[in-house]
Structure 1
């Protein structure tokens, strides 16, 4: 039974990471490792760059610095 719990937990963590990388509301950043948190920050920045490059009204240029 323990392997099933480990697999389920791993799946939940992978789904959470995916949600965070996609900017979804279901993301729980408290469950991310430091490396995952850094990857989420990069993904968020890349999404913002795309929105601004494509002139979407949701572009927030203040998120492009730093």
Structure 2
């Protein structure tokens, strides 16, 4: 890279930036679809009680 063409490096930086933007957009769309269909969070009561008890009926840790 010391004696090469810096245009190639700039092209690669642009490709990386486009990939990051594309990944962010696709991830946001997937999360929005999941949030509208099955939801991303559990209800407040299950969150307070704990997911081990609400989903499996047993405590995961006995502290």
Higher relative contact order (CA 8 A, sep 6+): 1
- TM normalised by structure 1 equals 0.38
- TM normalised by structure 2 equals 0.39
The higher radius of gyration belongs to: 2
